[in-house]
Amino acid sequence: MIIKGQSTFEQIIEPMKINEYIDKIPKLFDWYFQLVPTKRIQLNYIVIIAVIIFLAYKNDQRHQKNADDLSAKLDAINNERAKDQKEYAKNLEFYVDKFNHLLEMLIQQEKEINNIKKEV
């Protein structure tokens, strides 16, 4: 029975019962121990290499997922900082303009005071 969305492995494995797997284990060991010792060693190396490749692939998948999650979080933080920086710059510009206006008024008042002192 093929169910949409299942992998090929799941399609093959699903119909078998756990007992069928357990029944096949002794046959597997019988076959393994019937092998010539050099073939057994070669098979061991092949299995070890396959396991290492599989684990490296799984680790890389987890690493990639973690990197994507971290990247998304950093992007969200950077977007928030950019928004805050834009608001800060807008407020800073407003207060700089106010300060410059007050400074101009003070310079103007100082000139008027100096003119009045010269007249007196």
Pick the range with the lowest mean pLDDT from 14-28, 53-67, 78-92, 106-120. Answer: 14-28
- Dump pLDDT digits (tens) for 31-62: 888 999 999 999 999 999 999 999 999 888 88
pLDDT at 8 exceeding the cut of 90: no
Q: What is the residue extent of each domain of the chain?
A: 1-34, 35-119
Residue 23 binned pLDDT confidence (cut-offs 50, 70, 90):
confident
Give the max Cα distance, the chain: 123
Contact 32, 40 (CB under 8 A): yes
The sign of the CA dihedral 13, 19, 21, 23 is: negative
Q: What is the pTM of this model?
A: 0.43
DSSP letter for each residue of 59-95: HHHHHHHHHHHHHHHHHHHHHHHHHHHHHHHHHHHHH
- Dump pLDDT digits (tens) for 66-103: 889 999 999 999 999 999 999 999 999 999 999 999 99
